[in-house]
Amino acid sequence: MEKNGNNRKLRVCVATCNRADYSKLAPIMFGIKTEPEFFELDVVVLGSHLIDDYGNTYRMIEQDDFDINTRLHTIVRGEDEAAMVESVGLALVKLPDVLNRLKPDIMIVHGDRFDALALATSAALMNIRILHIEGGEVSGTIDDSIRHAITKLAHYHVCCTRSAEQHLISMCEDHDRILLAGCPSYDKLLSAKNKDYMSIIRMWLGDDVKCKDYIVALQHPVTTDIKHSIKMFELTLDALISFNKRTLVLFPNIDAGSKEMVRVMRKKGIEHHPNFRAVKHVPFEQFIQLVAHAGCMIGNSSCGVREVGAFGTPVINLGTRQIGRETGENVLHVRDADTQDKILQALHLQFGKQYPCSKIYGDGNAVPRILKFLKSIDLQEPLQKKFCFPPVKENISQDIDHILETLSALAVDLGGTNLRVAIVSMKGEIVKKYTQFNPKTYEERINLILQMCVEAAAEAVKLNCRILGVGISTGGRVNPQEGIVLHSTKLIQEWNSVDLRTPLSDTLHLPVWVDNDGNCAAMAERKFGQGKGLENFVTLITGTGIGGGIIHQHELIHGSSFCAAELGHLVVSLDGPDCSCGSHGCIEAYASGMALQREAKKLHDEDLLLVEGMSVPKDEAVGALHLIQAAKLGNAKAQSILRTAGTALGLGVVNILHTMNPSLVILSGVLASHYIHIVKDVIRQQALSSVQDVDVVVSDLVDPALLGAASMVLDYTTRRIH
């Protein structure tokens, strides 16, 4: 065993009540089964698994080759509130004999069902340790109360999201006994690559159905408002009939109100309607393929707001049953689904869309974390659980690898010369960086980006980093809403009208953000640099070209055609040198690295560049750095060129001050320190007195493009609002 103080195998009892919880428990059961030297597995089946009307789903457990130690018939039929209470009571009567016979060291209980409450109550009163899966989450119905009640009974907790972990800590649970693992079902979801998915679609929906041209509907009663939930189900079916798409309707769960919902289905003839297929149960592996390739999923099942996000399938969440859940951007909420028109409008908005894949609820590595956590349980520790009542501090961090991973982003910087990928932590620390030359063709470039990101994501697991998403910084004009590079700079060839979001999202199953490198530099300053906490500031990048970003009222300005902050193309002279944009007299034509290189070559060709103490090897191209070196060594012509370049930049800054009136201007990039003093002189000479006090500083960030790309991920995923 792994330092758990035990000298025998850990006897684990997994109790499953229905088709939904088995999809989460099965990956753990398979994991336990593969390590017989550490664990003994007992399987207890109860609840709706054993009812014919709900598909006799215990058979899928047998098909998975698990030995069922005990079958307990615990459901009192009636499908109303009283029947639920009586079912809990019946389970409490039957479970003690089973637990006395099995004598497990630990019982694994999932979720928030009334059956699970009976399991947890029995185990707690019989001094059996409880591991609760998916505690700390918030949905919006009586399930919340049951879930949190089980949390109070459980000794150990496996949660799926950072928010759920924080909720458990706020509920005074011991942080050392909380594992942030992700959802076990994601281990199967993210590895599901069934090339023959069309045969599954045809089997359940008919031979004439096409991929992305059907709907999956799964709606359950809301036990705190049964009457309204039945009416909402009726409106949903009416909307689906009007929408006229092939639809797979799954029967509701066994909660109070389900019998009335089935009556509604039969009243409307759903089981015989040519556009509908009504089924009691679909095996989870096949269900994955059906929702992954659906045009839309509709209903109020937790599956819609949790698992379906892994595929980017559009989801319409109806009513309040899942209103508190964290969701990806694929979910459209219809909270007051009180008319057919509202639901129909939502179907028109969502059907057929494709969203970025989301990994809010898991990264595919939950089961290894859970098994490691189980091995660490010391049976010699006192059984009585302790509650941690002191106030919870923000950003709690403990150096225990199975409890807390470093929340991080994958940042990509597409430069004219190099392609860089980095793992960036929440604090802006670059954990690891990878650099390759940027290929010249689209095909080679996109393949290299995918390869580097896949390698970095795999390395992140070893480095104990949880990747929340991918941020990409690239030159040119970018539509960040669609993740498309509209027009690139001349330095990056074959890079116009390029969809970056889709291939990366599909490959990594992560949300992806894309923006212009100047905007990324501004976002880096806002989150990690000298712009932190400021309402209005401007960043100017001085590098191969000249770019920038504008923060106004704490928000980045993109402009109506995503062309805002093209600060390098502010014209500062009507008869200045030609610019790469096709105009002339732009700041970039004077002050960019390309402009300085052009002037350096002219001087070198006329033998006016090199001074004493300088040399340029024959195999080395003359560039901006040689010009700067010559100026430092006293070359008057080089000094004059730099002064002109700095003056052009300074005039641009004056125009920015007069236009935007920011509280700070940040010069970023390799040339910033060489221009700063000249820029300040120009402001003193040329700017209105009302803006002369605005501070101009040099950025202290080493990799603003990478940090800005990371900030898109970190800002969004840590302040998600729905």
pTM for the complete prediction?
A: 0.55
Region 464-468 average pLDDT:
90
The answer to whether residue 363 is catalytic is no
Same fold, 189-350 and 399-529: no
Architecture of domain 532-700: 2-Layer Sandwich (3.30)
Check residue 431 and report its DSSP letter: E
Region 348-366 average pLDDT:
90
Q: What are phi and psi of 246, to 5 degrees?
A: -60, 135
pLDDT digits (tens, 9 = 90+) for 154-183: 999 999 999 999 999 989 999 999 999 999
Alpha carbons 344 and 334: distance in angstroms, whole number: 11
The yes/no answer on whether domain 399-529 falls in CATH 3.30.420.40 is: yes
Residue 390 confidence (pLDDT): 60
Please report which confidence band the pLDDT of residue 391 belongs to, taking 50, 70 and 90 as the band edges.
Answer: low
**Which CATH superfamily hosts domain 10-183+366-376?**
Glycogen Phosphorylase B; (3.40.50.2000)
Residue 140 confidence (pLDDT): 72
Higher per-residue confidence, 404 vs 63: 63
Please report which confidence band the pLDDT of residue 344 belongs to, taking 50, 70 and 90 as the band edges.
Answer: very high
Extract the annotated binding site: 477, 489, 517, 566, 569, 579, 581, 586, 588
pLDDT digits (tens, 9 = 90+) for 615-628: 888 888 898 989 99
Residue 396 confidence (pLDDT): 44
Residue with the two structure tokens 């679909």 = 282
Please report which confidence band the pLDDT of residue 436 belongs to, taking 50, 70 and 90 as the band edges.
Answer: very high
Instruction: Report domain extents, the chain.
Output: 10-183+366-376, 189-350, 399-529, 532-700
Region 437-459 average pLDDT:
93
Alpha carbons 593 and 597: distance in angstroms, whole number: 6
Architecture of domain 189-350: 3-Layer(aba) Sandwich (3.40)
Residue with the two structure tokens 């640099």 = 529
Higher per-residue confidence, 193 vs 99: 99
**Helix or strand run (H / E) with residue 547:** strand 546-552
Please report which confidence band the pLDDT of residue 417 belongs to, taking 50, 70 and 90 as the band edges.
Answer: confident
Residue 720 pLDDT more than 50? no
Alpha carbons 493 and 471: distance in angstroms, whole number: 21
Extract the annotated binding site for Zn(2+): 569, 579, 581, 586
pLDDT digits (tens, 9 = 90+) for 649-677: 999 999 999 999 999 999 998 899 999 99
Residue 4 confidence (pLDDT): 54
Closest by alpha carbon to 308, among 243, 246, 361?
Answer: 361
Structure tokens at 491: 């330095």
Residue 192 pLDDT more than 80? no
Residue 548 sits at the vertex; the CA angle it makes with 539 and 627, to the nearest 5 degrees, is 95
Higher per-residue confidence, 141 vs 365: 365
Region 319-332 average pLDDT:
86
Residue 402 confidence (pLDDT): 42
Residue 556 confidence (pLDDT): 93
Residue 488 pLDDT more than 90? no
| Cβ-contact 25, 48 below 8 angstroms | no
The phi-psi region of residue 498 (left if phi > 0; otherwise alpha if psi is between -120 and 50; otherwise beta) is beta
Percentage of residues in the chain having pLDDT higher than 90: 68
**Helix or strand run (H / E) with residue 410:** strand 406-414
> CB under 8 Å to 717, separation ≥6 — which residues?
360, 407, 468, 469, 511
The phi-psi region of residue 434 (left if phi > 0; otherwise alpha if psi is between -120 and 50; otherwise beta) is beta
- The catalytic residue among 399, 517, 605, 695 is 517
Burial class (CB in 10 A: 0-12, 13-18, 19+), 549: buried
Alpha carbons 609 and 624: distance in angstroms, whole number: 11
Region 18-45 average pLDDT:
94
Collapsing DSSP to helix, strand or coil, 676 comes out as: helix
Percentage of residues in the chain having pLDDT higher than 70: 96
Amino acid at residue number 1: M
Residue 515 pLDDT more than 80? yes
Alpha carbons 98 and 69: distance in angstroms, whole number: 9
Strands of the sheet with 246-250, listed across from one edge: 276-279, 246-250, 214-218, 296-299, 315-318, 331-334
Please report which confidence band the pLDDT of residue 71 belongs to, taking 50, 70 and 90 as the band edges.
Answer: very high
DSSP alpha helices (H): ranges in 55-177?
Answer: 58-63, 81-102, 114-125, 142-153, 162-170
> CB under 8 Å to 345, separation ≥6 — which residues?
none
Q: What are phi and psi of 654, to 5 degrees?
A: -60, -45
Most confident range, picked from 90-99, 140-149, 382-391: 90-99
Residue 193 confidence (pLDDT): 59
pLDDT digits (tens, 9 = 90+) for 584-616: 999 999 999 999 999 999 999 898 988 888 888
Region 703-707 average pLDDT:
93
pLDDT digits (tens, 9 = 90+) for 202-237: 999 999 999 999 999 999 988 888 898 899 999 999
Burial class (CB in 10 A: 0-12, 13-18, 19+), 231: middle
Q: What are phi and psi of 305, to 5 degrees?
A: -90, -10
Distances from the Cα of 256 to the Cαs of 74, 86, 252, 398, in angstroms? 15, 12, 10, 43
Region 543-569 average pLDDT:
91
Residue 718 confidence (pLDDT): 61
Please report which confidence band the pLDDT of residue 721 belongs to, taking 50, 70 and 90 as the band edges.
Answer: very low
- Quote the mean pLDDT of the chain: 90
Region 346-359 average pLDDT:
91
CB atoms within 10 A of CB 654: 21
**Helix or strand run (H / E) with residue 465:** strand 465-474
Region 55-80 average pLDDT:
90
Extract the annotated binding site for an N-acyl-D-mannosamine: 477, 489, 517, 566, 588
| Cβ-contact 421, 456 below 8 angstroms | yes
pLDDT digits (tens, 9 = 90+) for 85-138: 999 999 999 999 999 999 999 999 998 989 999 999 999 999 999 999 999 998
Residues 530, 532, 533, 538, CA torsion sign? positive
